[in-house]
Chains A and B, each alone.
Chain A
Amino acid sequence: MAGPVRVSMTVNGTQQSADVEPRLLLVHFLRETLGLTGTHVGCDTSNCGACTVHLNGEAVKSCTLLAAQADGAEITTIEGMGQEGALHPLQEAFWEHHGLQCGYCTPGMIMASADLLSRNPHPTEGEVREALAGNLCRCTGYHNIVKAVLAAAEA
Chain B
Amino acid sequence: MIPAEFDYVAPGSLDEALTALREGGEDAKVLAGGHSLIPLMKLRLAAPSLLVDLRRLDELRGVSRADGVLRFGALTRHHEVATGGYGLISAAAATIADQQVRNMGTIGGTIAHGDSASDMPAVLLAHEGSVVLRGPGGEREVAAADFFQDYLTTDVGEDEILTEVRFPALEGYGFGYEKFNRRQEDWAMVAVSALVKKGGDGTCADVRIGLTHMGSTPLRATAAEDALRGRPLNADTIADAASHAADGTQPPSDLNATQDYKRHLARVLTRRALTAASQ
- A in complex with B: yes
Task: Indicate whether A130 sits within 8 Å of B38 (C-beta atoms), given known contacts A49-B100, A64-B104, A69-B53.
Answer: no
The chain B residue with its CB closest to the CB of A47 is: B185
* A9 proximal to B (CB < 8 A): no
* Segment among B5-13, B196-204, B215-223, B230-238 that sits at the interface with chain A: B5-13
Q: Is the CB of A64 within 8 A of B34?
A: yes
* Segment among A53-61, A78-86, A95-103, A147-155 that sits at the interface with chain B: A53-61
Task: Indicate whether A2 sits within 8 Å of B185 (C-beta atoms), given known contacts A65-B38, A69-B34.
Answer: no
Task: Indicate whether A22 sits within 8 Å of B7 (C-beta atoms), given known contacts A59-B99, A64-B34.
Answer: yes
Partner pick for A134 among B7, B34, B100, CB 8 A cutoff: B100
* A66 proximal to B (CB < 8 A): yes
* A32 proximal to B (CB < 8 A): no
Residue in A63, A112, A134 whose Cβ sees the most chain B Cβ within 10 Å: A134
| Interface flags, B19-50, vs A, CB<8A=1, else 0 | 00000000000010011001101110000000
Interface size, chain B (Cβ < 8 Å): 31
Q: Which residues of A contact B38 (CB under 8 A)?
A: 64-66
Q: Is the CB of A60 within 8 A of B104?
A: yes
Q: Which residues of A contact B98 (CB under 8 A)?
A: 49, 133-135
Partner pick for B2 among A23, A45, A116, A133, CB 8 A cutoff: A23
- What CA separation (Å) do A143 and B227 show in the bound complex? 47
* A92 proximal to B (CB < 8 A): no
Partner pick for A112 among B41, B100, B184, CB 8 A cutoff: B100
Interface residues of B in 79-136 (CB under 8 A from A): 79, 97-101, 103-104
Question: Chain B's nearest CB lies how many Å from the CB of A155?
Answer: 21
Q: Is the CB of B100 within 8 A of A68?
A: no
Question: Chain B's nearest CB lies how many Å from the CB of A141?
Answer: 15
Task: Indicate whether A61 sits within 8 Å of B34 (C-beta atoms), given known contacts A44-B1, A68-B10.
Answer: no
Q: Is the CB of B10 within 8 A of A71?
A: yes
Task: Indicate whether A2 sits within 8 Å of B7 (C-beta atoms), given known contacts A44-B39, A65-B104.
Answer: yes
- What CA separation (Å) do A133 and B101 show in the bound complex? 11
Q: Which residues of B contact A55 (CB under 8 A)?
A: 103-104
Partner pick for A65 among B4, B34, B79, CB 8 A cutoff: B34
Partner pick for A2 among B1, B8, B31, B42, CB 8 A cutoff: B8
23 contacts between A and B (CB under 8 A): A2-B6, A5-B8, A22-B6, A23-B5, A45-B43, A46-B97, A46-B101, A52-B100, A55-B103, A59-B103, A60-B100, A60-B103, A60-B104, A63-B42, A64-B42, A64-B101, A65-B104, A66-B8, A66-B34, A69-B34, A69-B53, A133-B184, A134-B99
Besides A44-B1, A134-B101, 13 other A-B contacts (C-beta < 8 A)? A2-B6, A3-B7, A22-B5, A23-B6, A55-B103, A64-B104, A65-B104, A66-B31, A66-B34, A66-B51, A68-B8, A131-B99, A135-B98
